[in-house]
Amino acid sequence: MNKESLKPLSITFALSAVWDIIAGFLYIFYIGTGRKINNPPIDPFFAIFLGSFFLCFAFIQFMSAFNIRRYTFNVGCLILGRAFYVIQLYTFMGFVNNFPSTFWFTGIIDSVFILLYIVFAVKGGLSAKDLFFPKRVHT
């Protein structure tokens, strides 16, 4: 496995960080009760709280992208986290009465990132063990 084999995964991870920065700023400044995007209604405190998490995730993704081989576990975490979000979003949109479909497109974007993470990880020679079980570093 050479350094170049994980470059597409690294780039994808950095791009997903950009997506999370956009989401973070949207939640902090635009989404919430009485703001520009009010569907679903959400208290501004929770919107800012969620936005801060998106910005933290973006930072982790950017930093991991610079040394993706060492931080492949973070890719695995994002696969699980984004998958949970997509499943939860579409389950609520499909089965909860009056649940707004405002963010349907985010499920598509996050699904694409999940797929790209998996494809580029496999093409880069990573296994499920690399993605979901961190390597122990002996000190």
Residue 113, in any domain of the structure: yes
Query: pLDDT at position 137, please?
Result: 65
CA atoms of 49 and 73, how far apart (whole Å): 25
Q: Which domain holds residue 15?
A: 3-132
Name the token pair of 4.
Answer: 């170049």
> Is residue 91 in some structural domain?
yes
Q: What is the pLDDT of residues 74-92, one digit of tens each?
A: 999 999 999 999 999 999 9
User: Is position 137 within any domain?
Assistant: no
Dist CA 58 CA 97 (whole Å): 32
- Classify residue 62: in a domain, yes or no: yes
SS3 category, 31: strand
Please indicate, yes or no, if residue 92 is contained in any of the structural domains.
Answer: yes
Count of domains in the chain? 1
Q: Phi/psi class of residue 69: alpha, beta or left (left: φ > 0; alpha: ψ in -120 to 50)?
A: alpha
Is 45 within the bounds of a domain? yes
Instruction: Report whether pLDDT(134) > 90.
Output: no
Mean pLDDT of 53-67: 96
Tens-place pLDDT, residues 88-116: 999 999 999 988 888 899 999 999 999 99
pLDDT above 70 coverage of the chain, percent: 96
> Is position 138 within any domain?
no
Q: Is the pTM of this model over 0.85?
A: yes
